[in-house]
Amino acid sequence: MYKLLVFDWDGTLMDSQQEIISCFQWATHDLSMEPPTDEAIRNIIGLGMREAITALFPTLNSPEQQSALVERYRHYYFSPQKPPSALFEGVLELLHSLHEQGYFLAVATGKGRRGLDGVLKNTGLDALFHYSRCVDEAHSKPHPQMLEDVMDYLCVMPKDALMIGDTEYDLQMANNANVASVAVGCGAHEKSRLLMHNPLVYLDHTNELGDWLKQDPMTISQSLT
């Protein structure tokens, strides 16, 4: 039985994909840059901001231009006029149930600390998580540092931890930290891409995790093909 469940945030717990896409596109518009496609932005969800910009704009080498893009993105992301994203259906109930069952719950996210603290407060979930790690506190995924920091803080061994995420970066991070993973299909990356990284199981929605955890992991028969 796992002791620690570590969740990605965007695309795993919160349906924030369109919010991230819009903020990037508005930011590039302000700077008279060619806006990236929706698909290109989906591809980088989960990375740290600097890593995402490098992937989206490989020729944008000027630190000043990169900083300007980050500033405009954050301007829109933290705007009080922007409609907030919502948690996926069933996530609130899932997290309360897992907390009551005695699991350690944590977040490892490509969001910055300001962004994560804001959504934790707005959703009322801040009291449910025992620890969290953000990209401005550790290396970006798929580097294992965020997961390793969470396990160190909660004194949990890799064999007792489980990473839940919607992108290959989440699953790669888990593999790099010798942690098992669960892939969920409600976020940014398609099923075939996730299965390349050998998760224990692929779930269509995060809210299916509770039922899956009740099964004996050694007897799970769900197909990953």
The residues annotated as belonging to the active site are 8, 10
Cβ atoms within 10 Å, residue 19? 18
